[in-house]
Amino acid sequence: MAKTGGRRNLKRTERREQILQSALQAFSRGGYHGTHVADIIEQAGVARGTFYLHFESKHDVFDTLVDRTLRLFLDVRPMGEEPAVRTLTDAEEILRASYHAVLGTIHKHRKLMQLLFEEAVGLEKGFRRKLERHFAAWHERIQGTMQLFVDAGVVRRDLDVEMTSDMVLGMVERLARRYLLKAARPDFDRLVDALVTFELGGIRKR
Amino acid sequence: MAKTGGRRNLKRTERREQILQSALQAFSRGGYHGTHVADIIEQAGVARGTFYLHFESKHDVFDTLVDRTLRLFLDVRPMGEEPAVRTLTDAEEILRASYHAVLGTIHKHRKLMQLLFEEAVGLEKGFRRKLERHFAAWHERIQGTMQLFVDAGVVRRDLDVEMTSDMVLGMVERLARRYLLKAARPDFDRLVDALVTFELGGIRKR
Amino acid sequence: MAKTGGRRNLKRTERREQILQSALQAFSRGGYHGTHVADIIEQAGVARGTFYLHFESKHDVFDTLVDRTLRLFLDVRPMGEEPAVRTLTDAEEILRASYHAVLGTIHKHRKLMQLLFEEAVGLEKGFRRKLERHFAAWHERIQGTMQLFVDAGVVRRDLDVEMTSDMVLGMVERLARRYLLKAARPDFDRLVDALVTFELGGIRKR
Amino acid sequence: MAKTGGRRNLKRTERREQILQSALQAFSRGGYHGTHVADIIEQAGVARGTFYLHFESKHDVFDTLVDRTLRLFLDVRPMGEEPAVRTLTDAEEILRASYHAVLGTIHKHRKLMQLLFEEAVGLEKGFRRKLERHFAAWHERIQGTMQLFVDAGVVRRDLDVEMTSDMVLGMVERLARRYLLKAARPDFDRLVDALVTFELGGIRKR
DNA sequence: TATGAATGAGTCTTCATTCAT
DNA sequence: CATGAATGAAGACTCATTCAT
């Protein structure tokens, strides 16, 4: 809608970043295939040639954006080291903190996240694989934490850790899609509450 | 894959169905944009014109497939009438049956389902809206059942029914994507078990 | 709009004629290129194959129609033999009769005539040449009559017979296009009057 | 006809004009439907994409050419203001001048004119209407002049001004088609003479 | 004779990428 | 660095004609 940036004679990095932002804007609106290089450069207020001065191809920009999104998750690590888990309350604490961090990140970068959750799906093998690897990594992390709880004996021994991790992943994804991607001010507390409560106790009466 | 042979005049409906199947095959492989009409007709062993004799456009075939997929879910209704819920065990029964039915349907039509979960995402507004409406309908159904449980007093009164339904939706979607779409013989029991256990009791120790 | 004819088991000639009429109808509406074989057979209520049983091609039907139109003019010959011309009044008589005949024919077959004047123009060489030959023939006839008048001494000796014949041709064509092709009940007398008066005396005061 | 050579970047307007000329050339040869975009770009020695950089479609180029042709006639106005008409000689003067101007324009732009008289006929409604409006305008102008003569009393009072204007239109059109469109050096004087003589005095002896 | 399913050459149009200026 | 004119491979769709039934 509005030109993303100013004009002329930016430093290489700045111009690149400007194009990247414009691309994000454009892709968010139209998806990968619905967005043309023309849209991106118009949004950026930059000439066609300039675009190719900074990126190899349309694929390249999209890829860069996806990578940047993925990298965001690597930084979501609420505590630097393995926390000690003695009681269920410890576990709850950890979960609460994790979800807060994750949901916060997702919301903060919701435009980028949309790329992951809605635009990069169904694209060609390269992106597909990247996404799969990403979800696998995330799954591993969740599973790690869960196993920690199991080992600490604060949750059920017979938990199907693998599938449950998948389910948690799905829960977060859907909540994110529904309540974070488009919302300006989401109710984080309600979301985290719902997540933690459900994960810990299911729907069963206490 | 295989040309059927020379020229053979089928009945209108048969040819249409054949093309539809070929299209499904093709879209499954390459996604919407990665699939060309050429791929579909090659797969069907049919001439270009024949394709357009039965469908208005590439978009039209895809749309038809998506609609067919969506319609599949309307038929997933394990019991004809509202079941009575007295105890948690009743609820468990219902959930178990529901999940069995749903997962079974998903697996049975996994090629079609893939369209919903992986190919129709990120496409243009028409499909997007269709998907959203679909998920909304599904969400409503889940929420309905859950509310039934709440009203019957067999689960927590303070349950955030709306969000929890979303989470359930996400759980099923992710499990389906991971364990059903590509697997030839999935372990339904393990899946249903994981789902029901988690939904009912969370990860907490009994 | 309305199916042109009945159905089934007509004699060869009848079916052919029926298709021809439907084609005329269709071409009148959409011109040569704007009309598809589909339009013609729909109008005729006949199957595709039937069409090709009676005509070699779309080109063929059109050609047949054009030929038929052209042949109509050959029959427009108000009197069997060369009339004697002694006075200007004789000439006027002849012109009046000729125009009446010609305009009458044009109006009677206005659908067909439209083909000549509006649809067959600008088509490929075959039609072009046919039209040219036709107009040349007509021109010759007009010129013949005019020369008769000159030789009889009832009109100007220095008349540019060739160009004047062209002009007469143009006059008739335009009047036909404007007042005959679409009109249900044209005012023939006014038309003939205008023609004869103009041709004989120009616009000059008597 | 001749590729200009390697790649050469022209100014936007120049390239557009070049393509326009090539299109005119091509359409003149093959008519609207007989001419393909391939013919135009080959003639222009330009790539496919370049064509669409300057015109929206084949229809668009043709339309542009037709419009340009029509606009040519608006400029044919031999004298800036209403001339005084006292005698038949004045009228003759005016007619002579008008015809000279019109025929001159037609011949000068005969390629373009061919579009009007031969190619744009029988096309779809848009062009048809445009042509009709054009002929109507021309008719009005002729009728205006003629009425001037009538009012000045230099020609017959009972003249059927409307139809006569149509006839004049037809005369000019046919003469133009026959003697101007293809001729390199037409005999303007003979044409104007024939026209003026006929229009003023008809074929009758003086 | 009649039918209508099937064919495929033919065209237009798009759009990512290149390159002269 | 920047520009934007030029490129052309790729792909969707049409429709006259053929042929199995």
Specify the range with the lowest mean pLDDT, choosing from A36-45, B94-103, C120-129, D110-119: C120-129
User: In angstroms, rounded to a whole number, what is the distance separating the alpha carbons of residues B188 and B97?
Assistant: 12
Q: Where are the domains of chain B?
A: 12-55, 64-201
Evaluate if the CB of C63 falls below 7 Å from strand F. no
Q: Tokens 């992986």 appear where?
A: B118
Average pLDDT over residues D116-128: 88
Judge whether residue A66 has pLDDT over 90. yes
Please tell me the predicted confidence (pLDDT) of residue B194: 95
Please tell me the predicted confidence (pLDDT) of residue C81: 61
Partner residue facing B204 (CB), from A31, A174, A200:
A200
Band the pLDDT of A80: cuts 50, 70, 90: low
Do C88 and D167 lie within an 8 Å CB cutoff?
no
User: In angstroms, rounded to a whole number, what is the distance separating the alpha carbons of residues C118 and C136?
Assistant: 18
User: In angstroms, rounded to a whole number, what is the distance separating the alpha carbons of residues A122 and B148?
Assistant: 36
Q: CA of B172, closest CA in chain A: separation in Å?
A: 7
Evaluate if the CB of A202 falls below 7 Å from strand F. no
Average pLDDT of the residues of chain A = 89
pLDDT digits (tens, 9 = 90+) for B117-138: 999 888 988 888 899 999 999 9
Judge whether residue B189 has pLDDT over 60. yes
Judge whether residue D126 has pLDDT over 50. yes
User: In angstroms, rounded to a whole number, what is the distance separating the alpha carbons of residues D26 and D36?
Assistant: 8
Average pLDDT over residues C181-205: 92
Planar angle of CA C106, C108, C114, nearest 5 degrees? 50
Band the pLDDT of D79: cuts 50, 70, 90: low
Chain C neighbours, 3+ Cβ pairs < 8 A: D
Whether D66 and D120 have beta carbons less than 8 Å apart is answered as yes
Judge whether residue D184 has pLDDT over 80. yes
Average pLDDT over residues B67-73: 90
Point out the nucleotide closest to D14 (alpha carbon to C1′): F5
Please tell me the predicted confidence (pLDDT) of residue C1: 39
Do C199 and D199 lie within an 8 Å CB cutoff?
no
CA-atom Rg of chain A in angstroms: 20
Where is pLDDT greater, at B82 or A30?
A30
Average pLDDT over residues C46-74: 94
Evaluate if the CB of D135 falls below 7 Å from strand F. no
Chain D contacts of C170, Cβ < 8 Å?
A: 167, 170-175
Chain D contacts of C32, Cβ < 8 Å?
A: 122
User: On chain E, which bases lie within 7 A of the protein's CB atoms?
Assistant: 1-21
Judge whether residue B4 has pLDDT over 80. no
Do B203 and A171 lie within an 8 Å CB cutoff?
no
Band the pLDDT of C82: cuts 50, 70, 90: low
Chain B interface test: which of A172, A204, A206 (most B C-beta within 10 Å): A204
Chain B interface test: which of A169, A171, A175, A199 (most B C-beta within 10 Å): A171
Distance, CA of D55 to C1' of E13, in Å: 11
Please tell me the predicted confidence (pLDDT) of residue C126: 86
Collect all residues with Cβ–Cβ distance below 8 Å to C28 and sequence separation of at least 6. C111, C114, C115, C119
User: In angstroms, rounded to a whole number, what is the distance separating the alpha carbons of residues A86 and D198?
Assistant: 116
Q: Does domain C64-201 have CATH number 1.20.200.10?
A: no
Judge whether residue D30 has pLDDT over 50. yes
Report residue C176 as tokens. Answer: 């036909």
- SS3 sequence of chain A: CCCCCCCCCCCHHHHHHHHHHHHHHHHHHHHHHHCCHHHHHHHHCCCHHHHHHHCCCHHHHHHHHHHHHHHHHHCCCCCCCCCCCCCHHHHHHHHHHHHHHHHHHHHHCHHHHHHHHHHCCCCCHHHHHHHHHHHHHHHHHHHHHHHHHHHHCCECCCCCHHHHHHHHHHHHHHHHHHHHCCCCCCCHHHHHHHHHHHHHHCCECC
Average pLDDT over residues B41-70: 96
Please tell me the predicted confidence (pLDDT) of residue B75: 77
Please tell me the predicted confidence (pLDDT) of residue A3: 42
Do A202 and B199 lie within an 8 Å CB cutoff?
yes
Do B122 and A124 lie within an 8 Å CB cutoff?
no
Judge whether residue D203 has pLDDT over 80. no
pLDDT digits (tens, 9 = 90+) for B5-53: 578 899 999 999 999 999 999 999 999 999 999 999 999 999 999 999 9
Please tell me the predicted confidence (pLDDT) of residue A4: 44
Band the pLDDT of B81: cuts 50, 70, 90: low
Planar angle of CA C44, C50, C36, nearest 5 degrees? 55
User: In angstroms, rounded to a whole number, what is the distance separating the alpha carbons of residues D66 and D6?
Assistant: 31
Average pLDDT over residues D63-92: 82
Q: Which of residues 87-106 of A touch B (CB under 8 A)?
A: 88
Partner residue facing C122 (CB), from D121, D155, D159:
D121
Average pLDDT over residues D139-165: 92
Band the pLDDT of D2: cuts 50, 70, 90: very low
Please tell me the predicted confidence (pLDDT) of residue A170: 97
Please tell me the predicted confidence (pLDDT) of residue C3: 41
Chains D and B touch (3+ CB pairs under 8 A): no
Band the pLDDT of A79: cuts 50, 70, 90: low
Evaluate if the CB of B8 falls below 7 Å from strand F. yes
How large is the angle between the packed helices D12-34 and D37-44, nearest 10 degrees? 140
Q: Which of residues 1-30 of C touch D (CB under 8 A)?
A: none
Q: CA of B7, closest CA in chain A: separation in Å?
A: 34
Judge whether residue B59 has pLDDT over 90. yes
CA-atom Rg of chain D in angstroms: 20
* B68: amino acid identity, one letter: R
Chain D contacts of C204, Cβ < 8 Å?
A: 88, 155-156, 200-202
User: In angstroms, rounded to a whole number, what is the distance separating the alpha carbons of residues B66 and B75?
Assistant: 15
Please tell me the predicted confidence (pLDDT) of residue A102: 94
Evaluate if the CB of B48 falls below 7 Å from strand F. yes
Q: Does any CB of chain D come closer than 8 Å to the CB of residue C82? A: no
Partner residue facing A119 (CB), from B122, B167, B200:
B122
Judge whether residue A5 has pLDDT over 50. no
Planar angle of CA B97, B100, B101, nearest 5 degrees? 85
Distance, CA of C51 to C1' of F17, in Å: 11
Average pLDDT over residues B183-199: 95
CATH architecture, domain A12-55: Orthogonal Bundle (1.10)
Chain C contacts of D170, Cβ < 8 Å?
A: 167, 170-175
Band the pLDDT of A2: cuts 50, 70, 90: very low
Judge whether residue D103 has pLDDT over 60. yes
Closest CA to D68 of D115, D10, D102: D115
Q: Percentage of chain C with pLDDT > 70?
A: 92
